[in-house]
Structure 1
Amino acid sequence: MRLYALCDQDMLNEKSITLETFLDIAKSHNAEVIQYRNKNADIAFVKEQLIQIRKQYDGFLIVNDAYELVEFCDGVHVGQEDLKSIDSNVLQAVKILRSVIKEDKILGISTHNEEEVLQANAMDINYIGLGAYRNTTTKKDITNVLGKNLDTIAAKSKHHVAAIGGVKLNDSFENVAYHVIGSGLLP
């Protein structure tokens, strides 16, 4: 299993966990990637957090949504709704994003079903997040839980797949490159 650690600021605040503690936990599990997600802070705070993470962590650092901060990390992850806020045509939205973040940066998007995975196959991206695998506490609005079907759908992707949504360290997949785990890492 390869670990992609989701560092959600709301989760840290809710559990009274410092950023430094989360990073120590992620590193103790050999996380290859850390995604920093903060849906509520201003861009200056997100930038400060990315700089702090970079000081303590030397693996791949991905920012959620804030593509304007890509210079402070290795790439960007964007959800379907956030893509649609860039352009109603998600294929065009990815082209716009790629023109902003350039080829030397990682670009990943969220997918939730086979149709979105097949659509992503035509995109210039590095990976997809696929899920939710099961219900999770970090996202309250999950409407589509894939369960065991996640692995079958993942097999249809030409990109690396990161299983998202309620994934645990001991989950096993055949067609998934990364387990994305957030609160599941915390005590």
Structure 2
Amino acid sequence: MKLYALCDQELLDSKGVSVEEFVKTATSLGAKVIQYRNKTSDTTFIKQQLIQIRKLYDGFLIVNDKYELVEFCDGVHVGQEDLKSIDSDVSKAVKILRSVIKKDKLLGISTHNEHEIIEANSMDLNYIGLGAYRDTSTKKDISGVLGDKVEELAKVSVHPVAVIGGVKLEDQFENISYKVIGSGLLR
């Protein structure tokens, strides 16, 4: 199972950690993917952060939501609500995104239940995020914690699965390709 490091700007700011420090920690732990998430800053700042991470990290770099910045990274991750802001039909939203970011970039979406996973199975994706595994302080809008159900739900997906939400470094899974850790890297 590979480490997928979630670099959340709000979390970094609250802990007084720089992007450089986060990337150094993620790299030392063998992170194969870093996703940069920033829900509050303008596009120019996010672009600068992506450029800075790229200078420090040669693994896969994913941006959260800001598909217009895909040229500065290797792909995009989008949540369900953000997909619906593109189109109320999430399948159409993924088709629109794929037409923008092209086949040479990664595309992942968040899923939270079996229905969303089955829906994602017919989409042109590289992976799905599945969770939340357990409660987390970095996401206030978690509708349900899946706990051990993530293992069974992961079997339903035709795409590689990244388990999200409250995942710890020591957590082990059998049916999961990536464990996504954010705040757990900052201890």
Find the residue that maps to 1:155 and give its secondary structure.
helix
What are structure 1's unaligned runs of at least 5 residues? none
TM-score, normalised to structure 1's length?
Answer: 0.99
Structure 1 counterpart of 2:137:
137
Superposed, 1:25-174 pairs within 5 Å as 25-174=25-174
| TM-superposed deviation, 1:168 | 0.6
Structure 1 SS opposite 2:94? helix
- One-letter identity of the residue aligned with 2:84: K
The alignment of Structure 1 onto Structure 2 pairs a total of residues equal to 187
Distance 2:177 2:52 in 1: 27
Overall identity of the aligned pairs, in %? 70
SS of aligned partner of 1:158: coil
CA shift for structure 1 position 138 = 1.0
Give 1:173 deviation, angstroms.
1.0
Q: Give the secondary-structure state (helix, strand or coil) at the position aligned to 1:45.
A: helix
Shift of residue 170, structure 1, vs aligned partner: 1.1
- Matched to 2:42, the amino acid is D
* More moved, 166-175 vs 9-18: 166-175
Following TM superposition, by how much is the alpha carbon of 1:134 offset from its aligned partner in structure 2, in angstroms? 0.1
Query: What is the distance in 2 between the residues matched to 1:35 and 1:79?
Result: 13
The aligned amino acid for 1:11 is L
Equivalent position amino acid for 2:133 in 1: Y
Unaligned runs of 5+ in 2: none
Cα distance in 1 between the residues matched to 2:139 and 2:72: 25
